[in-house]
Amino acid sequence: MAEVINMPRLSDTMEEGTVAKWLKQVGDKVEEGDILAEIETDKATMEFESFHEGTLLYIGIPEGEGAPVDSLLAIVGEEGEDISGLINGAADASNGAKVDPVAENTAEAPVASSSSGSGSADIPEGVEIVKMPRLSDTMEEGTVASWLKKVGDKVEEGDILAEIETDKATMEFESFYSGTLLYIGLQEGESSPVDAVLAIIGPEGTDVDAVLNAKPAAGKSNEVAKEEVKEEKAAEPSQEAVAESVNDGQRIFASPLAKKIAKEKGIDLKDVKGTGDHGRIVRKDIENFVPVQQAAKPATTSQETTSASSAIAPVALPVGEESSEEVKNSQMRKTIAKRLSESKFTAPHYYLTIEVDMDNAKASRAQINNLPDTKVSFNDMVVKACAMALKKHPQVNTSWKGDTTKYNHHIHVGVAVAVEDGLVVPVLKFTDQMNLTQIGAAVKDLAGRARNKKLTPAEMDGSTFTVSNLGMFGILEFTSIINQPNSAILSVGAIVEKPVVKNGQIVVGNTMTLSLACDHRTVDGATGAQFLQTLRAYLENPVTMLA
């Protein structure tokens, strides 16, 4: 079914937008998360991504032309689909007859825009209601993990108000207004649906009760359903306001975006040389920063993508005493439960297991890691082998769509990473085009940021195949639940030293057990078995992955 994409409201003051550049053309295939166009707002030029999959059937606004918010921007649907009715109804949609489906916002969003002028007479000038933002395309409610501002604090545009826990990650939520934080609608640890009142910002001394009771004003919140994510991509650093921090008595000038990225990557700003005006540190300085010296970390002998921690400390009890407690499930935990249940009970799983001789892999890894500035793990080798095997067995790189099967010609391997609240799956985009060292660096970066809750939703979307590894915990063999909409997931066990038979002789060998869970709707048993045979051939002869 075709989806209408309207001109989004990418800032709280935006009334119309201009299409600076189309990154997709009519007839192009569009995946969820693909960048459709660059939209010029009243504040910056921002990348606008698609929240739908299909073919780009229609472009309503050519490059260089502007249109009001909610105007017909594009239509995405199935190739050959009749969209004449949607195009003819565009005028009605812009007048409010249709709700903008692109961000899947609630119906209050267009109403808020139209009422912001006439309805705001009942509240003092400069007062803004901040609502629970929609920070991911699947987010239905959010939890306030922590407040970085308190009632009475001064707030500047761009300041981080709170950390919001979504169904995918914990993300910093910044203010798009300046003023005093007058009211907090949710305490830390509390949850609410998207668009519920989160906070009120305005002049000091404002009657908060009057604002909360003014119904028209309640719809006047900033439309930040996607803004926090998009602001990270917004404009060049030269468009950021200059911010400063103090370190060791010296003033360090850095853009807010540069400071944010530096914090995520653990980079000390005093070690970075700025190339902006007057030595200001900008985004490219952080992205291009190379530490003078990094402390060497002990290399792991096997897989290093998964770690686990316990949220509940053990309690010492008197002998014979029973005790228990209930802990509120996080948004991540509830989402994991929902999606794994859906996968397990809708996709007919079956499992295939093989044992792989890892002698050559161990020898090859040792040689590779003897090279300067090169470190790869066994898990990196597994991920690379999977990507190459998927090229030879495209049936495994598919998704069940009901009436059709989606064949993914690109290969995006998801790598399961255990975090404190559960499990996330960061995605290595175009894995087949990466070499071992690139895979190793990418996995290390993504896994580290996953544990620090710094992954963006885009970095966890779009996998076509998944690898789950519990080998470093000594698990010899296990099976996993398929990560929908993938058709298969590979479970990687530990490498064990044991007696094996080679050339009729019992010798000491190193083996690893791999289990493949397949969706029988898309992957037949023989297809899964052939995929595992190819995978084993690559791992037992690693030189073939380097050729």
Buried b (16+ CB within 10 A) or exposed e, 435-455: ebeebbebbbebbbbbbebbb
Q: 392, 400 in Cβ contact below 8 A?
A: no
Q: 113, 69 in Cβ contact below 8 A?
A: yes
Give the angle 382-385-390 at the CA atoms, nearest 5°: 125
**Spatial CA neighbour of 335 closest among 224, 427, 421, 246:** 421
36-43: long-range pairs with CB below 8 Å, 24+: 36/5, 36/74, 37/73, 37/74, 39/7, 39/8, 39/10, 40/66, 41/10, 41/11, 41/14, 41/17, 42/11, 42/13, 42/14, 42/15, 43/11, 43/13, 43/14, 43/234, 43/235, 43/239
3-state secondary structure of 345: helix
In the chain, the N- to C-terminal Cα span, in Å, equals: 44
Please list the alpha-helical segments (H only) found in 288-358: 331-346
Q: Which single residue is written with the structure tokens 């504040």? A: 43
Q: Which tokens go with 261? A: 């990225």
- Give the separation between CA 457 and CA 463, rounded to whole angstroms: 12
- Give the separation between CA 134 and CA 9, rounded to whole angstroms: 13
412 catalytic, yes or no?
A: no
Choose the catalytic residue: 349, 359, 421, 520.
520
- Give the separation between CA 104 and CA 55, rounded to whole angstroms: 19
Non-local (6+) Cβ contacts of 262 within 8 A are 254, 268, 269, 272, 281, 286
520 catalytic, yes or no?
A: yes
Q: 50, 5 in Cβ contact below 8 A?
A: yes
In DSSP terms, 168 is beta-bridged to none
In DSSP terms, 129 is beta-bridged to 200
Q: Which tokens go with 319? A: 């002998």
Q: 282, 258 in Cβ contact below 8 A?
A: yes
What distances in angstroms separate CA 431 from CA 414, 436, 484, one per listed residue?
9, 10, 19
Kindly provide the residue ranges of all beta strands, DSSP E only, lying in 361-401, ordered along the sequence: 398-400
> β-strands 465-469, 488-502: how paired?
parallel
Q: Which tokens go with 351? A: 């499992």
| Other beta carbons less than 10 A from residue 20's beta carbon | 15
- Give the separation between CA 522 and CA 507, rounded to whole angstroms: 40
Q: Which helix (H) or strand (E) holds 171?
A: strand 170-174
DSSP letter at 273 equals -
Point out the residues that are catalytic.
520, 524
